[in-house]
């Protein structure tokens, strides 16, 4: 542990090999994970709108899956029950889709959700200006900062959207049980339900990443002095 | 000019801040040469431009005109990678407000620059322990910053600044938020490090205690260098300096 040799003349023009600054991926994940844990409450708020929107999406899709499962049994009673409960079933049709109205609601809720995420992330980033500035003073590149935020929100996205998708699916099944009885639930095609849950989780993850992109770029581009001047 | 013993050279640096329609001239043409291994104090009243100069030397901000050379390399010419490398390996920063990353433990704060510098996690942790030992916080590695006192946080900041064995330590009022005794301890620590490791210390300060340990004192006033005094010329008593301030 003695003084570095960098002041010698040969090294005055810093050569490529010595110049590298790195942040291994594993370390990024570790930092991101700790950061979420420390700021658990803030993360929860950011994730809440995602959970709600994704559970709604998942609810709609799984309900449709259950209805299709009921139709697949060719049970006429189920068919009547579905028509009574508002599904648009033509005499020849043997499958249902979510109604345009439901689809609009889902899209709207996803839009609201992404605005919510951007908003929450902008606040979170502002709270962390000083930390970002400090990291840059320690040698962090813009893309380290960007990567940290993306990993963080990716984790939040998977957990939040996964939770939301499961909650939505569970509610859809309970709803089907209450309306059509146990037989309807057991008629559901579990593969379809699993696919619906995965799609909802994937969409949630995507939304979460999209929502953090702008705030994260903003944070990553900041000059250290600007970032550190912010009073906290 | 090509004197390699000058690790930092500031040449005709000006900095103008635009505040709406008003222009604030924080630096009005500063020339300064700092020899390797020296302990330099930058003294001056509040608002005289110490922090601004500090940011220029540290590559944290760009001069409006003029140049800053570190090891005779113009830092305005460096690309983003080189600049990050400079901040990571070459310069250690210490701030008045400590700027410890609040969500990390003391040890994690110290190992971060070493990770950036490409050191393996184990090696970084081992060296982190040594550095904490060095600043007298060997048993506090797992503490979060808010569990540490100001003086302890500043010690962590010093350990962090030393992590990659920088050639230069830049300290902007390192004792500004500390009580008298703690401030003295921090100053003694910086001095000891500069002597033992031949690190160049450049410290902006209001603190008269800093003068005793400085090899050179740069008096700055209103964005210009007023005068530069070497240690030998500084045989004035602290009382007289007090009046000057
Ligand atoms: N970002 C900024 N925008 C506008 N003016 C600024 C900015 N930063 C500094 N200044 C101005 O530049 C001048 C020098 O400020 P600086 O922070 O360098 O002073 P200082 O010597 O460090 O003072 P102190 O001892 O109080 O820390 C001041 O007049 C200040 O108002
Ligand atoms: Mg200042």
Whether pLDDT at B111 is above 50:
yes
Question: Domain for residue A113, yes or no?
Answer: yes
What ipTM does this complex have?
Answer: 0.87
Q: Could you tell me the residue range of the domain that residue A136 belongs to?
A: 25-90+99-226
Whether pLDDT at B136 is above 70:
yes
Q: How confident is the model at residue B193 (pLDDT cuts 50, 70, 90)?
A: confident
All residues of chain B having their beta carbon less than 8 Å from the beta carbon of residue A224 are 60-61, 87
> Of the ranges A24-38, B91-105, B136-150, which one carries the lowest mean pLDDT score?
B136-150
When pLDDT is averaged across residues A173-196 and rounded to a whole number, the result is: 92
Cα four-point dihedral sign B235, B239, B244, B245: positive
The DSSP annotation for B30-45 comes to EEEEEETT-EEEEE--
> Of the ranges A149-158, B220-229, B235-244, which one carries the lowest mean pLDDT score?
B235-244
Query: What is residue B245's predicted lDDT score, i.e. its pLDDT?
Result: 43
Ligand 1 atom closest to the CA of B48, numbered from 1: 21
List the structure tokens of B38: 């020296």
Q: How confident is the model at residue A226 (pLDDT cuts 50, 70, 90)?
A: confident
All residues of chain A having their beta carbon less than 8 Å from the beta carbon of residue B36 are 7
Q: Which residue has the higher pLDDT, A51 or B208?
A: A51
Alpha carbon distance B114, B118 (integer Å):
6
List pLDDT tens digits, range A67-119.
999 999 888 888 889 988 888 888 878 888 888 888 999 999 999 999 999 99
When pLDDT is averaged across residues A9-32 and rounded to a whole number, the result is: 72
Question: Domain for residue A5, yes or no?
Answer: no
Q: How confident is the model at residue A18 (pLDDT cuts 50, 70, 90)?
A: low
Ligand 1 atom closest to the CA of B96, numbered from 1: 27
What is the helix (H) or strand (E) element at residue B68, kind and residue range?
Answer: strand B65-70
Alpha carbon distance A167, A112 (integer Å):
19
Ligand 1 atom closest to the CA of B220, numbered from 1: 21
Alpha carbon distance A68, A50 (integer Å):
27
Q: How far apart are the first and last CA of chain B?
A: 32
Q: How far apart are the first and last CA of chain A?
A: 36
Please compute Rg for chain A using Cα positions: 25
Whether pLDDT at B242 is above 80:
no
Q: How confident is the model at residue A167 (pLDDT cuts 50, 70, 90)?
A: very high
All residues of chain A having their beta carbon less than 8 Å from the beta carbon of residue B160 are 138
Domain count, chain A: 1
List the structure tokens of A23: 């942040």
Question: Domain for residue B44, yes or no?
Answer: yes
Question: Domain for residue B29, yes or no?
Answer: no
Whether pLDDT at A5 is above 80:
no
Domain count, chain B: 1
> Of the ranges A14-23, A186-195, B181-190, which one carries the lowest mean pLDDT score?
A14-23
The nearest CA of chain A is from the CA of B73 a distance in Å of 7
Q: Is B227 helix (H, G, I), strand (E, B) or coil?
A: strand
When pLDDT is averaged across residues A21-42 and rounded to a whole number, the result is: 91
Does the beta-carbon distance from A225 to B71 stay under 8 Å?
Answer: no
What CA–CA distances, in Å, run from A139 to A77, B74, B224? Answer: 69, 18, 30
Residue whose Cα lies nearest atom 7 of ligand 1: it is B17
Contact A188, A173 (CB under 8 A): yes
**Residue B222 CA, ligand 1 centroid: distance in Å:** 10
Q: Could you tell me the residue range of the domain that residue B83 belongs to?
A: 35-59+78-239
Q: Which of B103, B117, B130 sits opposite A35 (nearest CB)?
A: B103
Query: Ligand 1: residues whose CB is within 6 Å?
Result: B 17, 19, 24, 26, 44, 46-52
Closest-CA residue of A relative to B69 is: A12
Q: How confident is the model at residue B235 (pLDDT cuts 50, 70, 90)?
A: low
**Residue A200 CA, ligand 2 centroid: distance in Å:** 52
Contact A5, B71 (CB under 8 A): no
Question: Domain for residue B230, yes or no?
Answer: yes
Query: What is residue B230's predicted lDDT score, i.e. its pLDDT?
Result: 86
A 10 A CB-CB count for A2 gives 8
Tracing tokens 């920088």 back to the chain, one arrives at B166
Alpha carbon distance A200, A208 (integer Å):
12
Max distance between CA atoms of chain B, in angstroms, equals: 53
Query: What is residue A230's predicted lDDT score, i.e. its pLDDT?
Result: 66
Question: Domain for residue B26, yes or no?
Answer: no
User: What's the helix, strand, coil split of chain A in %, to 5?
Assistant: 80, 0, 20
Query: What is residue A231's predicted lDDT score, i.e. its pLDDT?
Result: 58
Query: What is residue B237's predicted lDDT score, i.e. its pLDDT?
Result: 44
Question: Domain for residue A206, yes or no?
Answer: yes
When pLDDT is averaged across residues A195-203 and rounded to a whole number, the result is: 96
The HSE-up count of residue A182 (CA atoms within 13 Å, CB side) is 0
**Residue B6 CA, ligand 1 centroid: distance in Å:** 26
Q: What is the CATH number of the domain that holds B104?
A: 3.40.50.300
Q: Chain B within 8 Å of A42 (Cβ-Cβ)?
A: no
Please name every residue paired with B92 in a beta bridge, in sequence order, or none if there are none: B169
């Amino acid at each position: 542990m003695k003084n570095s040799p960098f002041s010698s003349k040969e090294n005055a023009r810093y050569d490529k090999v010595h110049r590298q600054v790195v942040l291994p991926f594993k370390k990024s994940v570790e930092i991101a994970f700790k950061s979420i844990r420390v700021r658990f409450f803030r993360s929860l708020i950011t994730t809440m709108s995602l959970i709600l929107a994704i559970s709604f999406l998942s609810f709609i899709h799984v309900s449709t899956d259950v209805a299709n499962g009921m139709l697949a049994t060719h049970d006429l009673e189920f068919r009547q029950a579905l028509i009574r409960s508002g599904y648009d079933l033509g005499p020849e049709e043997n499958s249902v889709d979510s109604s345009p109205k439901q689809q609009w609601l889902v899209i709207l809720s996803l839009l609201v959700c992404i605005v919510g995420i951007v908003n929450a992330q902008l606040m979170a980033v502002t709270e962390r200006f000083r930390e970002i500035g400090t990291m840059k003073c320690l040698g962090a590149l813009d893309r380290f900062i960007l990567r940290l935020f993306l990993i963080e929100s990716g984790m939040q996205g998977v957990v939040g959207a996964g939770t939301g998708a499961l909650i939505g699916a569970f509610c859809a099944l309970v709803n089907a049980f209450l309306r059509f009885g146990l037989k309807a639930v057991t008629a559901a095609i579990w593969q379809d339900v699993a696919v619906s849950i995965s799609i909802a989780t994937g969409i949630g993850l995507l939304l979460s990443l999209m929502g953090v992109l702008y705030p994260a770029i903003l944070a990553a581009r900041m000059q250290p002095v600007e970032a550190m001047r912010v009073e906290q | 000019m090509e004197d390699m013993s000058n690790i930092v050279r500031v040449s005709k640096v000006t900095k103008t801040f635009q505040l709406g329609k008003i222009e604030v001239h924080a630096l009005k043409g500063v020339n300064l040469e700092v020899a390797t291994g020296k302990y330099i104090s930058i003294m001056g009243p509040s608002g005289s431009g110490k922090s601004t100069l500090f940011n220029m030397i540290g590559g944290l901000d760009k001069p409006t005109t003029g140049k800053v050379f570190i090891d005779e390399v113009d830092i305005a010419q460096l690309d983003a990678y080189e600049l990050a490398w400079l901040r990571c390996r070459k310069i250690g920063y210490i701030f008045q407000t400590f700027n410890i990353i609040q969500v990390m433990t003391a040890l994690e704060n110290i190992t971060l620059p070493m990770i950036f510098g490409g050191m393996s996690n184990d090696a970084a942790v081992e060296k982190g322990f040594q550095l904490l030992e060095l600043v007298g916080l060997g048993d506090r590695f797992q503490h979060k910053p808010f569990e540490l006192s100001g003086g302890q946080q500043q010690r962590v900041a010093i350990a962090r600044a030393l992590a990659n064995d920088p050639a230069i330590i830049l300290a902007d009022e390192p004792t500004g938020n500390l009580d008298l005794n703690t401030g003295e301890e921090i100053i003694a620590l910086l001095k000891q490090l500069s002597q033992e490791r031949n690190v160049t210390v450049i410290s902006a300060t209001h603190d008269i205690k800093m003068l005793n340990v400085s090899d050179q004192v740069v008096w700055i006033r209103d964005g210009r260098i007023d005068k530069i005094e070497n240690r030998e010329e500084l045989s004035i008593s602290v009382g007289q300096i007090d009046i000057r301030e």
